[in-house]
Structure 1
């Protein structure tokens, strides 16, 4: 109960419980602090062996009560800021019918402890977190929600953690200067080719070149052809790819404009319009539609902490990946935003070849589901090293190097046969 209800367990070696015992119970590494309450309520969650977890509504009511720390022991209840942060996080992650259930739980708890007036406080705080009321608060999350820019508190916390981790990584610059300028002539073409291929828009290289480089149509697959052409025309546009997005509003506008350019051949996915329905991939549920712009805005503010172009690029791809702000085309857009950061800083782009698809997606999943950034850092660092070593001066030269390094290999076949993406520098030299 009390602050322990948030984590459903101890915090920093302290566990607060509803029990008739009077004195705290000291255990190795844990102190159990009891207080007498009404006992289990019908809305509480049974854990077995006579243990119960306070419902979210009861936890809200309990934590509205004041308390003080005593020596090393933290306050029994949350501070006002902690409570407001929690409510913002709770409301951002719940549907309306779930919120109403929490209010019903709060009513039961308030009746049980004789604090009926707290139900009104709960309602007001929930309304504030939903943008429908105003309360005085020091919580950034609740302040944003009241201003109509509520964000996903859990995801923004992940983004802050990622940014903190990236600031501790020493830069490894891969500048596009001298001979590398000519060597990257057709890199945007292959960037667009692979970015579409790993999303299921599959062409041969010759077909993709016909569409993107020669401007020809593919009557049998007009939508797929537009995906390829739209992506290529965006990533080959120097003015767009070197553009610095200086404000949150400029960033949000650029996302919509770029999405419309990429997905303009698919009116059914509403190009350039924020999603209006929840989306997910496997067990990963992305940010709720109502919190999309707020989460993007909060996330964009955090990127200001990062100076290293690679760090900013990695952060950019993860931000779009975890929000998934559009109905479709989010992966392509995420990689455009990633390379925008690199090109604007004069650094080498990153391509994710077909054979590298599983590693790339697994690394994104490790970050979004487990909060482990190192896999994503390693995968994208390797992908940039790889891209930097390919000679893209002609389509043919690039194709030969990509083929020799297994870039085009189907990831399932690669997995079954132990084939891996190979750095060109590790290949045996060929005799002329």
Structure 2
């Protein structure tokens, strides 16, 4: 099934969600905690973090350390959860601009590397296992300015397409020394939430499919990543209805 058909299904589910009674405050908190843990776990796991979902929940909700797991994995969990909380707080009132992007990265990354948190890279970076050449550091500021300037045009598309495309174009710039994948998926969800869609979680089980979609995007083919994001958005809508449609 193509992404356009999946988007139609998702829009139907979103209309169902909007027809439900508004969530109580406690239910809203429960929903965002579900996404905060799920997205933190999945987004970190895609990048090699070895915390399980249960361990991620323990780290970010209880503030406890998991024996035998690397310190960095704990810091990534805490940082990502904090960045997601910021996303929820500012999505309705903040434009996606360079300042917002740098702030997201800083909140995620400053516990790991304070010097490079929220700062565009000044070194070359490579994606292991990929022959795709990323822009030189000298080009990053200009490319980011152009991407942000193009956002109004990107957001003329359906929100799911806009979310997938922003995520992908950002990732193809790779503006930071590390943490680009995590920030790209936060930006993706910033767009979805802004337009009334649940946050979309790309599970670690679909990591290879996700990598393949990103490799296709390097040559300008966004079909695979749009399809994957549409599928995950649809699944999030189904999750919402399973939890709250009585």
CA gap of 1:335–1:285, structure 2 versus 1, over 3 A, is: same
Give me the TM-score of the superposition, normalised by structure 2: 0.80
Unaligned runs of 5+ in 2: none
Q: Secondary structure at the match of 1:184?
A: helix
* 1:22-421 equivalence runs, <5 A: 173=11, 175=14, 177=18, 178=20, 182=27, 184-185=31-32, 186-218=34-66, 221-237=70-86, 238-245=88-95, 251-267=97-113, 270-281=116-127, 282-305=130-153, 306-307=155-156, 308-368=158-218, 370-390=219-239
The separation in 1 between residues aligned to 2:240 and 2:215, in whole angstroms, is: 31
Q: Secondary structure at the match of 1:364?
A: helix
The separation in 1 between residues aligned to 2:197 and 2:141, in whole angstroms, is: 29
Q: Deviations over 1:119-152 (max 9, x none)?
A: xxxxxxxxxxxxxxxxxxxxxxxxxxxxxxxxxx
More displaced stretch, 185-194 vs 171-180: 171-180
CA gap of 1:195–1:180, structure 2 versus 1, over 3 A, is: farther
Q: Deviations over 1:323-342 (max 9, x none)?
A: 00011100000000000011
Shift of 1:345: 1.6
The separation in 1 between residues aligned to 2:234 and 2:21, in whole angstroms, is: 16
Report which of the two has the higher share of helix.
2
The separation in 2 between residues aligned to 1:331 and 1:269, in whole angstroms, is: 19
The separation in 2 between residues aligned to 1:179 and 1:222, in whole angstroms, is: 42
The separation in 1 between residues aligned to 2:35 and 2:118, in whole angstroms, is: 26
Unaligned runs of 5+ in 1: 1-165, 395-432
CA gap of 1:378–1:360, structure 2 versus 1, over 3 A, is: same
CA gap of 1:179–1:210, structure 2 versus 1, over 3 A, is: farther
Q: How many residues align?
A: 223
Partner of 1:130: none
Kept in 2: contact 1:241–1:339 (CA 8 A): no
CA gap of 1:392–1:260, structure 2 versus 1, over 3 A, is: farther
Q: Deviations over 1:266-314 (max 9, x none)?
A: 1277211111111121211112111112111112222212332212211
Partner of 1:156: none
Compare relative contact order (CA 8 Å, sep 6+) and give the higher one, 1 or 2. 2
